[in-house]
């Protein structure tokens, strides 16, 4: 009785999260092992036979190795966007927190607006076409940076407020120019938040489906999420291949997540208590 009372809730919580997180994952993996006919049933059955390897080969080679191109594109997109995001968001957060001017209110309004107002696709395409960046990878990088910036800035700014200003001043007296202060003193101290930013944003950008769809048309430009279309159509979907594809493109975010896992929690709670 007391055991139930003591651990009952915890066990329940663990079970619920297992159901919510693990079952879909198990479903994906099992589907990836099935052959086409069994997959068509879309049920939760044990795979008959081992078809993973043939599935993988087919998925990777489809449409002239499109998945490989997509992986390369997505990696470039993610790495470039996240790098720019981290640097710019930290810079904006730093300046906004440290230098009080009468424009601060306006800037904060823009940041919040960026967070709340849904992106307008058609005007953005029109603008991208105007400056010749439509359908280009670097155009999409800029779009991703713009969409991700407000959230990253908010994360950074709260944390920068906990870094004592004397640290900047000590660096200034030590002879640091503004860029030295930022890159050598502030940015290293922001590492916990930077990790959080890297994980959150890289997963979001890597898994982004709509923005590449709108702003980066064309097979040569495909990103990983768009490759899902290869096996999906209104009348004829190869579910085994679709789920193999899903399993393959889930691997990179998973690796990032496992790699930074410990530090994410540190970043979320950093600054809560002065160390």
85, exposed or middle or buried, with CB in 10 Å at 0-12, 13-18, 19+? buried
Residue 65 phi/psi, 5-degree rounding, is 60, 40
Q: Considering the rule CB under 8 A, would residue 183 count as an interface residue with another protein?
A: no
Interface pick for another protein out of 125, 146, 176, 213 (rule CB under 8 A)? 176
* Closest separation in Å from C-beta 43 to another protein: 54
Packing angle of the helix pair 52-98, 191-206 (nearest 10 deg): 140
Q: What residues have CB less than 8 Å from 3, skipping those under 6 apart?
A: none
Interface pick for another protein out of 61, 103, 169, 178 (rule CB under 8 A)? 169
Residue with smaller CB distance to another protein, 80 or 171: 171
Q: Considering the rule CB under 8 A, would residue 189 count as an interface residue with another protein?
A: yes
Region from 53-61, 91-99, 174-182, 205-213 binding another protein, contact rule CB under 8 A: 174-182
Please list every residue from 146 through 165 that binds another protein, using CB under 8 A. Answer: 164
Rounded-to-integer distance, Cα 217 and Cα 214, Å:
7
Q: Considering the rule CB under 8 A, would residue 203 count as an interface residue with another protein?
A: no
Q: Considering the rule CB under 8 A, would residue 263 count as an interface residue with another protein?
A: no
Region from 139-147, 167-175, 206-214, 235-243 binding another protein, contact rule CB under 8 A: 167-175
Rounded-to-integer distance, Cα 137 and Cα 74, Å:
9
SS3 content of the chain, % helix, strand, coil (to 5): 80, 0, 20
Q: Considering the rule CB under 8 A, would residue 266 count as an interface residue with another protein?
A: no
Residue with smaller CB distance to another protein, 35 or 180: 180
Q: What residues have CB less than 8 Å from 234, skipping those under 6 apart?
A: none
**Where on the chain is the footprint of another protein (CB under 8 A)?**
164, 166-167, 169-176, 180, 184-185, 188-189, 191, 275
């Amino acid at each position: 009785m007391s055991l139930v009372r003591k651990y009952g809730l915890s066990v329940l919580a663990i079970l619920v999260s297992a159901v919510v997180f693990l079952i879909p994952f198990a479903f994906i993996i099992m589907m990836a092992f099935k052959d086409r006919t069994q997959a068509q049933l879309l049920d939760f059955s044990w795979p008959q036979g081992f078809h993973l390897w043939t599935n993988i080969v087919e998925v990777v080679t489809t449409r002239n190795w499109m998945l490989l191109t997509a992986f390369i594109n997505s990696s470039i997109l993610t790495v470039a966007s996240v790098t720019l995001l981290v640097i710019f968001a930290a810079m904006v957060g730093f300046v906004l927190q440290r230098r009080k001017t009468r424009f601060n209110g306006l800037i904060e309004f823009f940041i919040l607006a960026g967070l709340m107002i849904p992106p307008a696709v058609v005007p953005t395409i029109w603008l991208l076409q105007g400056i010749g960046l439509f359908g280009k990878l670097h155009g999409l990088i800029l779009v991703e940076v713009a969409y991700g910036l407000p959230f990253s800035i908010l994360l950074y700014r709260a944390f920068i407020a906990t870094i004592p200003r004397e640290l900047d001043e000590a660096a200034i007296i030590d002879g640091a120019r503004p860029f030295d202060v930022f890159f050598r003193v502030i940015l290293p101290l922001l590492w916990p938040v930077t990790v959080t930013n890297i994980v959150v944003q890289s997963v979001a950008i890597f898994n982004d489906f709509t923005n590449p769809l709108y702003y980066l048309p064309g097979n040569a430009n495909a990103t990983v999420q768009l490759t899902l279309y290869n096996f999906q159509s209104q009348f004829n979907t190869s579910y085994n291949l679709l789920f193999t594809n899903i399993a393959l493109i889930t691997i990179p975010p998973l690796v990032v997540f496992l790699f930074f896992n410990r530090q994410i929690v540190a970043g979320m709670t950093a600054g809560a208590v002065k160390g």
